[in-house]
A = this chain, B = another copy of it.
Amino acid sequence: MPRDVPDIVIGRLPLYLRALKRMEQDGIEITSSHELGRHLGISSAQIRKDLSHFGEFGKQGTGYNISYLREQIARILQVDRGWKVIVVGTGNLGRALAQYRGFQPRGYHITALFDNDPEIVGQRIGDFEVFPPEKIADVVRGEDIKIAMIAVPASEAQGVTDQLVEAGVCAILNYAPINLAVPEHVHVQYIDPVIHLQHMTYYLR
């Protein structure tokens, strides 16, 4: 893989992937950076520049073969294989994540749930048994887990993060409304619905 691709470029690749999958499902075989850009609200020049970090994916004037480009982006993102994921926190949000059907078809397999409430530990939620936090290290190491989703209250999120990182997790999707401190090799993404609401509120004139 090329080094030093800006993170903001990497962040756009999943959007390209999703748009290409949709086009493929619609039976379209060839697209252009203009058409892809129109779908995504991104300039065609930006799309060509983003993709140029990774090679040549289309010929001038003939456009992109959609299934080829989709496969290549999936390979670049490493989502052409399966990944095991754990969920920490089984409140309403954790339960929603455990039962969300959008993960499995895209290669993310929830493997275990954790909660620190003794009344919830040992229960089953959907297909999963809930484990206590003391089991995090065992499960992460035993199952070679790299990815975790955090759905605990803000006050507990940093403690959980420290445990996850110590056990070997290096990618965290954080739903708690707090910024997490992590070592440099650990990646964190934040789900913050207010950011999306604010984006749309601009247009409410």
Contact = CB atoms under 8 A, between A and B. Distances in A.
Interface string A85-101: 10000011101110111
A198 B79 contact: yes
List 4 tightest A-B contacts by C-beta distance, closest first: A92-B96, A171-B200, A14-B198, A189-B196
Interface string A1-37: 1000011101101110110001000000000000000
Interface in A24-83: 41-42, 76-79, 83
Interface stretch (A102-110, A115-123, A131-139, A157-165): A102-110
A197 B13 contact: no
Contact of A202 (B76, B85, B95, B173): B76
Given A1-B205, A76-B202, A93-B96, A197 B171 contact: yes
Interface residues of A, number: 59
B93 A179 contact: no
Contact of A195 (B18, B197, B202): B18
A146 B204 CA distance: 8
Contacts of A22: 179
Contacts of A13: 198-199, 202
Contacts of A14: 194-196, 198-199
B147 A199 contact: no
A194 B108 contact: yes
A187 B171 contact: no
Contacts of A6: 41
Contacts of A85: 197
Contacts of A83: 197, 201, 204
Given A1-B205, A99-B92, A203-B187, A173 B197 contact: yes
Given A1-B205, A92-B93, A103-B194, 8 more contacts: A13-B198, A13-B202, A93-B93, A100-B193, A102-B192, A171-B197, A173-B197, A191-B191
